[in-house]
Structure formats: structure tokens, C-alpha cells
Amino acid sequence: MNHVVWNSHTKESFDRNWNDFLLKYGLVDNKWISDLYEDRHIWVLIYLDHHFWAGMRSTESSGSMHSFFNKFITRNNSLIQFLKQYDNCLRSREKINHKIVVYHIPCATKSSIEAQFQHVYTHKKFREVQTQFRGKVNYITRLTNSALGYSVYEVREQVFSSIFNKFAVTYESVADQVKCQCLLFESRGILCRHALSILSFERVTQVSPRYILERWSKKVKKRHTHIRSSHNEPLLEPRSKRFDKFVFCSQNICKFASKIQ
């Protein structure tokens, strides 16, 4: 089942793999399996790739969060211990962010596009991007159609000795836009190895800013700027201090207003 769901790159290949799966395990007449197939548009990856999921699966986000907080907090912590440990969490996160800004992960290739991502993205996201750069060397590229700056390529990935996965990739030189049939960028926000192989073939040295998402930038603006913490209080920005002052004033206004009938 894992192979059917995760390794089907088109709806046609999913149907083919699904039928092979049913025949192999004698599930052709299984009602539950049949109902599952009828609802494939809400759980099969290939039917969901046109939605942006930021690379997350159902429990991936919460699992990552739990893993981080479990280093500091247990179910036996008192309220006071919880507050102290939460402060330690923030301190640890600040140290991690500082390392991300200061240090760089070496590029895996000589691609200037990879260096472009290295300069902008966090370590974790850049490692995901690097996986695509490493994988693009194993593909065979063939131009199938071209007209007025619009090109269509077929990118072939060898799965077994005589079995290939094929992906259609379009490239518009004027708009500086590339799109792959696998829809990895549309669903996860990362340029796939198929698209990268075409950009390399077209001798593109820098990708359009549309392919570099701010959400994964090392310099993305944090949403918790005004949360007070003992480890960063001396470094509060003037804007944060003004925010605290306005919060205090607004509390007095609310108290006064609440007494008026």
C-alpha cells in the first residue's frame, strides 16, 4: 500500500498500481477497499498535490513540536516549573537561530542556484533542498516541444533496469518560470529535482524570487517579538518597549471603561 500511495506520480499510475495491488492480495471484491478507493481524492497524495501543505503530513507538525518541548517539559512539572522550562525553551530556540544565521551548510554541488538557497534558507529546509540537488544527476532530459521561449521537456528517472518514471516539465524563459508534473513546489514549496535538472539544462544561474519562500528564510520576521523572556529582556527593541507601554495604558483604559454603566 505504501508503494501505491507514495510512488504513484500520476493519477493513471495510481490506478494501475492500485489494480495490481488488489489482484496481488485478492482484494478486488473487498467493500472497505472499494470505499477507500472512492474517497481517494481526499487521502491519496497525487490528488492533493495541487494544494500547498508546506511539506507537512497529518501528525508531522505536532510530532516535531512535541519532540522539541519534551526535552524541557514533563507531565510531572508544576506550574512554576513549567514557566521556568518554557523560558529555557525560548533560550534554546534563540541559540539555535543564532547558529543558523552565523553558520552555513556546505553546498553539495557547484550550482549557483543551490548557493542561492544556502544563503537564504534555514539549515533544516536547506537540507531538504539539497536532497533535490543531489538527486537531479540521475535523470535523462529530452526536449519534446519548443516555441517562442516556451519549452516542454520529458525527464526520465530510472527506477529499475528497464523501468522509468517520466515527468513533464515546462519552462518559460521570458517569465522565468518552471513547472513540473510532480507538483512538488506547489505542494511542498521546494523545487523538485526534475525542475532543477531543466534549469541546469537551460543554464539558469538564479531562480526567480517566487521560488524562495519567506516562511523558510533565516531572517523571517518572528511573530512572538513581544513575548517577554528573562534571557532577552535586556535586548528588547524600542518598538517592543513601546508595545509594553501601550499594553499597560490600554489596561488602565479598560479598567476605567468597565466601571462606566
What pLDDT band is residue 103 in, cutting at 50, 70 and 90?
A: low
How confident is the model at residue 102, as a pLDDT?
A: 58
User: Is 70 exceeded by the pLDDT of residue 151?
Assistant: yes
How confident is the model at residue 67, as a pLDDT?
A: 72
Q: Identify the residue with better confidence: 201 or 54.
A: 201
**180 bridge partner residues:** 169
How confident is the model at residue 209, as a pLDDT?
A: 93
Cβ 119 vs Cβ 108: under 8 Å: no
pTM of the model: 0.63
State mean pLDDT over 187-191. Answer: 90
User: Is 50 exceeded by the pLDDT of residue 109?
Assistant: yes
Q: What b/e string do you get for 158-189 counting C-beta neighbours within 10 Å, with b at 16 or more?
A: eeeeeeebebbbbbeeeeeebbbbbbbbebbb
Average pLDDT value over all residues in the chain: 81
Q: Identify the residue with better confidence: 95 or 122.
A: 122
Q: What percent of the chain has pLDDT over 70?
A: 79
Most confident of 39-48, 74-83, 129-138, 231-240: 129-138
Report in angstroms the alpha-carbon separations of 201 from 53, 63, 190, 195, 207: 29, 39, 19, 10, 13
Residue-wise pLDDT for 13-70, tens only, equals 888 889 988 988 898 889 999 998 998 888 887 787 667 766 665 444 455 566 767 7
State mean pLDDT over 131-154. Answer: 89
CA distance linking residue 179 with residue 186, whole number of Å? 9
